[in-house]
Amino acid sequence: MPLYRTLTAAALLLLPLTAMTQPATMLPEPVARALAQAGISESAVGVYVHEIGADQPVVAVGADRALNPASSMKLVTTYAGLERLGPAYVWNTEIFTDGAITQDVLSGNLYLKGGGDPKLTLENFWLLLRGLRARGVREIRGDLVLDRSLFAEENHNPAGFDDQPTRPYNTGPSALLVNFKAVTLQFIPDAASRRVRIVADPPLPQVQIINNLKLNDGACGDWVSHLRHDAQGNADSARLAFNGSYALDCGERARSYSVLGHRQYVGALFTQLWQELGGSFAGQVRDGAVPAPARSLVTAKSNSMSEIVRDVNKYSNNVMARQLFLTLGINGTGATAATATAGIRQWLALKGLAVPELVLENGSGLSRLERISARNLGAILLNAYASPVMPELMASLPVAAVDGTLRKRLKNAGVAGQAHVKTGSLSGVRSIAGYVLDARGNRTVVVFMVNHANAFNAQAAQDELLSWVHNRDSTCCGRQERRRQGRK
């Protein structure tokens, strides 16, 4: 074959390879069209698509903009937790005493030491106290002392984020967080009596429920707004009044409220459950540290880290994410947001991940301050895919059309069941970040963040990107295609 033909053939082979190493700086047409229909400018988005194993991203549009990721920031917190502490890590909540136990009477104080458990539920707290009863304690002749020193006491304003101080997602972290500091109200309509019952769980005397609800026969609709609830009180006691209406069509519904301080809630719940278990306690509830001579009586272990991150990511639990975030800041003194941020930055640096634009406030994404770029969030996900904890992290993510925050999306799309993706949603913010398995069997990292007044309309564009990645042409940047071309 003449030399010029050989060179021409070689050049033709090289052309697609060269083209495939360049990331697209334009959005796929279906995505761009959906954004335009939503009234969102491309200058307000950050998109990064990178196939696992490829040298260059497939798409990088606005990828270096520092944007608010909303709950997609939980990926950073949970990946750090899995790697730094391990999938089997557990949080301990312990009960100590400095007194003697004689014939089921404890003469001395009882100390409840918090270990930062993100999910110390009502049931688990009851089991802890049941364990104490099983060890021969019935009457406590002393105080209940709460040791919450593992996390520093920081000023937290539950109304500061969105002026919804009674919503449990605005509950601040605590080393001794019990039942998310929530009281769940069950609304039960009774057609015969034309009344609406309200049942509280747990039924704490410090929380007074005023029920002026009227039952009607209309459609359920936005039932929460019809309740017209008013909350008054302070950290020690609260009053929840309902003066609206409730539709028979709603059936039974539940809604949770957070209205007491951490110390007051734990003390009230302890007293209530202890009495139900046949115990006696008439002392005070106060904060303090476990003294050195005190001995341990019983310990409650949390779910493992791998189970905790699943709840955090599948259901976007902000309170649990904050607890995990502060756990990453434990350094011998009370953990703070600053020590947690420093711990995550150090971990990223050790992994060779430079994320200079990263801003962390609480690690949950429930923040107006937190920032990261699509490129660097994508780089963290690429790094995670090569980590030993990749299976635990990926399994924690919502699956498109299957569960978590994605269970209702992409039901009839080819990507249904093929994408593990964390979602994020705030006023003015919509984000997705995770992994998509394409039709060729290759996996791709996808990040799409929108910071715009019309962000609430961005779901269609983000779903289009997930579908495009799943269905995209095998000639585009694929590792298998490059290998095939190289063998020609």
The domain that holds 268 is classified in CATH as 3.50.80.20
pTM of the model: 0.91
Examine the domain organization and report whether 200 and 335 are in the same domain. no
pLDDT at site 235: 83
Examine the domain organization and report whether 356 and 216 are in the same domain. no
Q: How many domains does the chain have?
A: 3
Distance CA 241, CA 231 (A): 6
pLDDT at site 23: 67
Examine the domain organization and report whether 316 and 450 are in the same domain. yes
Question: Mapping DSSP to helix (H, G, I), strand (E, B) and coil, where does residue 419 land?
Answer: strand
Q: Where among 246, 272, 302 does a domain terminate?
A: 302
Which helix (DSSP H) or strand (DSSP E) does residue 30 occupy?
A: helix 29-38
Low-confidence ranges of the chain (pLDDT < 70): 1-23, 474-488
Instruction: Give yes or no for a contact between 299 and 93, defined as CB atoms under 8 angstroms apart.
Output: yes
Asked whether residue 466 is domain-assigned, the answer is: yes
All residues at 6 or more sequence positions from 446 whose CB lies less than 8 Å from its CB, including other chains: 48, 49, 378, 419, 421, 432, 433, 434, 435, 436, 465, 466, 469
Q: What's the longest Cα–Cα distance across the chain?
A: 103
Alpha helices per DSSP H over 105-215: 122-134
Instruction: Give yes or no for a contact between 185 and 200, defined as CB atoms under 8 angstroms apart.
Output: yes
Q: Where among 246, 276, 302 does a domain terminate?
A: 302
pLDDT at site 479: 45
Neighbours of 209 (CB within 10 A): 17
Asked whether residue 403 is domain-assigned, the answer is: yes
Asked whether residue 174 is domain-assigned, the answer is: no
Cα atoms found within 13 Å of the Cα of residue 72, Cβ hemisphere only: 33
Distance CA 427, CA 69 (A): 12
Examine the domain organization and report whether 376 and 456 are in the same domain. yes
Q: Which of 97, 91, 102 is nearest to 112 (CA)?
A: 97
Distance CA 322, CA 303 (A): 16
pLDDT at site 472: 87
Distance CA 256, CA 125 (A): 18
pLDDT at site 40: 98
Asked whether residue 2 is domain-assigned, the answer is: no
Q: Give the residues across from 424 on adjacent strands.
A: 431
Alpha helices per DSSP H over 296-355: 305-314, 318-327, 337-350
Asked whether residue 430 is domain-assigned, the answer is: yes
> Which residues constitute the domain of residue 322?
12-88+307-487
